Structures are given as structure tokens and as C-alpha cells.
Structure 1
Amino acid sequence: MAIDQSLIGKKTEIYQYEVEKGHIRRFVEAVGDDSPLYVDEDFAVETAFNGLIAPPTFATTLTMGKESPFDGIEGFEMRRVLHGEQEYEFHRPIRPGAQYWVQSEITNVFDRKGNSGAMTFIVVETRANDIDKQPVVTCKSTIVYRQSL
């Protein structure tokens, strides 16, 4: 399947995401991060953050199990997808108990030749805003779509 720049601008619907303490706890256990800043309220309240926050890579969970901008693209095969790059821009910490409005958008599509053949790079930007529409985090993910397996 050829993927072209006509996908640029394709967005998911905006959805609400509530951050739960238990979700943060399970996440830090899974990644092996033992910082008390994420799970110990007594410790966290004494820091510059003045309370619990989520670890930076927790932002990746904002899209798990949600609509993808690739949904509905005829012929798009997830088995051809490789994770290429991930970056985060934090406007403020992600906090337990907070509710965010989240939306993903395809912001760039470009082709490259590699040793294994043609590849298409697709950049997806996910933005999470608080209930007052103020930015919390912007995640940029670059995936590599292999034209041949």
C-alpha cells in the first residue's frame, strides 16, 4: 500500500482521559521506576511539584486503547509498522486525578530508501490539554511503515 501526504491533517476525535493513581503505580512498576515522586504522596508534597506526578513516559499511555489516526485507512497493516522515534514536550506535569482532552493528528509523511527497501515515515502528534484547554503535553511519535516485509 502506498502512503502519501494526503494523510497529513488526519485527526482522531477528541476524547477525555482521566489519570488515575493506580494506573501511574502500575506503570512505574512495569517500567521499574522506583522514584517516590510518582507513588509516595508524603514525599511528593514536599518537592517542587507539590504533589504526585506521572513519570514522563507515562504520556505514551494517553493513546493506548483509543482511536488511532490510522483507523479506517484502507490497506494499512499494523504488522508493517516499526516505532521510529518518540519525543515529549511538557508544558506542565501530568497529575493523578486530572482529566485531559486528547487528540492525535498525522503531521508529516515522507519516504526514504533503506537497506531493506522503501519505507514511509509518518509523524503523529498527540496533544493533551486540561479542562481549561491549556496545554499539558505534546507527544510526537514517528513510525516507520515498511513497504515490503
Structure 2
Amino acid sequence: MNVMGEEFETDFWKEVDDRATWDMIVPGELRETRPVTLTKKIIQDFARKVGEDNPLYFDEEYALSTPYKGIVAPPSIHILLMFACTTSKDWMRSPGTINAGQNWYYHVPIRPGDTIEMRGSALDKFIKKDRLFAVHENLFTNQNGQIVCSGRGQTIRPI
């Protein structure tokens, strides 16, 4: 189990030459992933960095008074998890990747102490107007097997 922190690499150029390229993406093949445990500090650091100031993410007393019954993570934390749950060799981490659209569905809130696992794969890849596209799908579950977030997106891959 990986608790995010110092072992989560934030230098996305590190090991760039080891990344899977567009030619190596195999539709239907599961991406290599690892579980990540989120702490209150990680959730709150993320919220601050993306400009979230909702007391649901910071104030335990307030959060307990809501239907959520405690601190939760901002829904957009799935973006951080997409990188934290994958290895440095993952094709999604390639510098120069452009987000070409996405749809996300949120099911169960993520809470401090949750261990999140990601199941992800490319569904398709194609070339359009000399650009390399990958269509991907990701499913995030917590330690209880509950789906916390699911989504599908397209990226334009670097040449």
C-alpha cells in the first residue's frame, strides 16, 4: 500500500524516456497501477492548490454536520489519483499530452484514510489530422470495493 507523500514523484520529466509511447498502447490492456492511501493532509493540500476552500475539505466540525458526516476530498482529486496510482512508465504521464475531453461520474465520496485503486485501460487509439489520439477509461474504487469515481476521456499524444 502506497501512502502518498514523498514517494510520489512530481517531476514528470523524470524517466521520460522510459514512458510507453503511442505505438505501445494496446487497447483493452490494463494499465499497471498501485493502490494509494489518502490522508487528510493530502486532501487538504490538494484542495488548497486547486483553489478549493469549501469547509467540507477542512473543517471537521462543519463536515460532521453535513450529510457527508465528515471531511471528504474534492471530486477533482481523481486527476491527482490518475497519476499517483500509475507508475512513471505509464503512457498517460507523457509530457506534451493534451486533454481532448473527458466525462467523470462521482459515486461515493473519498475520505481521509481511504485506499484507492485504479483500473484503467485504453479503449481505442486512432490518428486524425496527423494527431495521435487515445481513448481511455478509468475506474477508481476504495478499500471496500465501492466505486468512488469513473470516467472516460480522450488525449492527444505527443509525436
- Quote the sequence identity (%): 26
TM-score (norm 2): 0.74
Rate the CA distance shift 1:78–1:5 in 2: closer, same or farther, 3 A: closer
Task: For residues 93-145 of structure 1, give each alpha carbon's deviation from its aligned partner in whole angstroms, at most 9, with x where no partner exists.
Answer: 111111122222111223322xxxx1122122221112232211113232112
Counterpart of 1:123 in structure 2 is 135
Structure 1: which 5+ runs fail to align?
Answer: 72-76
Whether 2:66 is the aligned partner of 1:54: answer no
Rate the CA distance shift 1:52–1:33 in 2: closer, same or farther, 3 A: same
Counterpart of 1:140 in structure 2 is 152
**Which of residues 23, 38, 53 is equivalent to 1:19?**
38
Counterpart of 2:14 in structure 1 is none
Structure with greater strand share of residues: 1
SS in 1 for 2:35: strand
Counterpart of 2:105 in structure 1 is 89
TM-score (norm 1): 0.78
Larger CA deviation: 36-45 vs 132-141 = 132-141
| Matched residue count | 137
Structure 2: which 5+ runs fail to align?
Answer: 1-20
Is 1:5–1:108's contact at 8 Å kept on the other side of the alignment?
no
Higher Rg: 1
CA RMSD of aligned residues (A): 2.5
Rate the CA distance shift 1:140–1:69 in 2: closer, same or farther, 3 A: farther
Larger CA deviation: 134-143 vs 32-41 = 134-143
